[in-house]
Structure 1
């Protein structure tokens, strides 16, 4: 049987990330088998102070920093900068999410990073990127959600605007950073050259606005919150049954015909208000009334069974605990338990070469004793060595 090789085996990542976006990028690379060295200041990553806590350690920090090695470097000191300089020469990837200019002032602007190691893939995540009138502004998830327009289309039907319930303003750029790292490593395998990658939180959110952005660019219609319902397609949202709500997603005429038949109302397909997806979208409030009148005599589970048998996409509206404990999440390993009993989340992909085990996030400075060994290695500034490219 062929021995499984880590997908990113041989790739060394310096993770200067703080709190969420860059640490998430580093975590995904670590899950794929890269050697990720988390570099923290003596005070530690701010994320270490976020609850809830498990045996006195931040669960937030543990989730985002598993499978990493951890060292402490004071980049404000000469000794810390010297060590960091030598680590850069022996790394493949650097990921950070400081405000633009912070690393520059410490003596490591983009040109200097690539001068030290021409094969380095350096990824910087910031609120607004290194260019533009807001480049020097600090940003958090809430600020970029508000600035991107995402909040303006999130919330109850008709408003007011609301924040998405997870820090998507950090998560999206963290995932974009992973994509950029993999693409840059692939390009480096051909050219032998690294590059500097500029990832902005605001850019990330603007880039995922999909149909919302297209409506804003191409029409004069209002672009505002529609609650759990889609602004264009219908029925596409949550609907009341006799006991619990149900989510239904119908975005074409064939599925609508199947839904109408399954609920005993085939005449809906001949109703001029509901003839096409565009018609249904324009008349989604009227359609909702008709649909909920048909569902009122059914329990949530009965409705799901009837619609699923007809091939209509539907499902229950679960809370977070119900979702994490669902048999599907269990079958996919989406809740894992580390060696000390700490429950954590699984990965969002299944691919050969990802880690099967889960190593706890390192304690502050846990692997400082490995620094000397790393610095004894040859630098990675020439043609490279076997195993350092993907």
Structure 2
């Protein structure tokens, strides 16, 4: 159970005494083995704010991998979990500035201000407003984003004339993670209705059924699926004046120097690709491309083709930059007996198993195959038509 901050806690953490206390607590290990002694030490000096200090330091340590320059930020555990990674927020902020130069942007569910921090850094954005109904998180945002205008407001009550509105409905309730559109806080459909006719950007879970949203509820904007370093982070809905309907995949990758590369593809590109025999490589497109329904568009751009029209694996004689490729060694059947014999012939040791289109549990299958060799390999299981097929490959490589 995470600690529940109070406004008094936030006021203390923002004070000079609180800053000194955070320096002291930051020097503690705060590991499972040391936690009892660390809590005793913090409590002896800083009660009743010892728990707030410890929770803040622990959140800052976790935030380092997700948010840039987060060493002086204030968080709640839930707010940190929901906060958008800096690379994703920074890309969105730059896009807003490019599409709506000189705009005022209002983040209507600003929480502790992680997204606001990226918005205020962009020169093409004229002003930034943040609002939330959680007064504790808003107090933290005042510390985290001193350059923003902040106010207490319900996202479903229009409170500004900003050019661009941004919302990130909470995907958790007291009972845990929620999945239905009407269970979000605030509900997605109410947001879309309340701000119809204005530029609205709504961040949603990557598993959002955007086809259902479009077909049943009449959403007529753009759906953007964004991934970062191979993991799909969000589905973002863009709607309002100047937004064309469609689907877009945005693939962000962190380079060794810390900068971020960007690849994008949309449904406005050609998707005329054949299905055919496997080439030298099996290509596994980025998850954002798959979830956006743009596998065929991606294949056309890079001269790839499909193994099967209904399966997201692609094939070709080269692998696009940023994609994961598996060089084919042998194609076999999918029975355990056939796989065990073929893998043994290739001296298979550690085995990565990827599955699409078949009802196979990779972990269960790996245990049953009992590979004992020395050569690391990848096994790609899929189907061609109604027939299951396996590809024994060299270990997957990110290009």
> TM-score, normalised to structure 1's length?
0.28
Larger relative contact order (CA 8 Å, sep ≥ 6): 1
> TM-score, normalised to structure 2's length?
0.28
